[in-house]
Copies of this chain bind each other. A is one copy, B any other.
Amino acid sequence: MIAVLRFGHRIDRDKRITTHVALVARAFGADKIIITTKYEKIKENITSICKKFGGNFQIETGVDPKKIIKQWKGTIVHLTMYGDELEKSLSKIDKTDDLLIIVGAEKVPPYFYESANFNISVGNQPHSEVAALAIFLDRYFKGKWLTKQFKGKIEIIPSNKGKKVISEKGKSD
């Protein structure tokens, strides 16, 4: 089980960013996203994308992060620009363990730094939790998420020109 814990989502301000975090979690091979803020609309949105594009990705919102962290039996990673080097940290993670990846919005309280087994930076420049999560999962799965099959109602066929989409009704361009 690989879960992403999205902490500190601010309704309105972070709406689109949290949606991108959830979609990256799904596309890059995580099993679940837990958003600490109660947020039905994002749940509906992600569930509808999952129905269309396939896979068993789960979403939960309105959860106490401390409860999740206390009950977690596997490894806990916190992605932060202040964290330790990516490659060095990755080599220490036991991949047979369940993994909880904490992704904060703005200011993250010390509790999360202290609870994590690994505070990991994806570069030490300010950029984006969406990009940090993508790069972390890409490295964790050694790029294998790129060929993951989701078996959805819609399948996109890679193409250099135009859009090639296979839907349940047949093929259309």
B-binding residues in A (CB < 8 A): 13-14, 16-17, 20, 23-24, 26-28, 49, 53, 81-86, 89, 113-114, 118-119, 121-128, 130-131, 133-135, 138, 145-146, 150, 155-165
Contact = CB atoms under 8 A, between A and B. Distances in A.
A128 B24 contact: yes
A163 B24 CA distance: 27
Contacts of A134: 127-128, 130-131, 134-135
Nearest to A18: B16
Report the copy number of this chain in the oligomer. Answer: 2
12 contacts: A16-B16, A23-B128, A26-B127, A27-B127, A28-B123, A28-B131, A82-B162, A82-B163, A82-B164, A86-B146, A127-B134, A138-B138
Contact of A130 (B49, B124, B130, B158): B130
B124 A24 contact: no
Given A124-B156, A126-B49, A131 B20 contact: yes
A121 B82 contact: no
Interface centre among A81, A127, A155 (most CB of B within 10 A): A127
Contacts of A81: 156
A128 to B, nearest CB: 4
A82 B155 CA distance: 10
A20 B159 CA distance: 27
Interface centre among A14, A27, A125, A126 (most CB of B within 10 A): A125
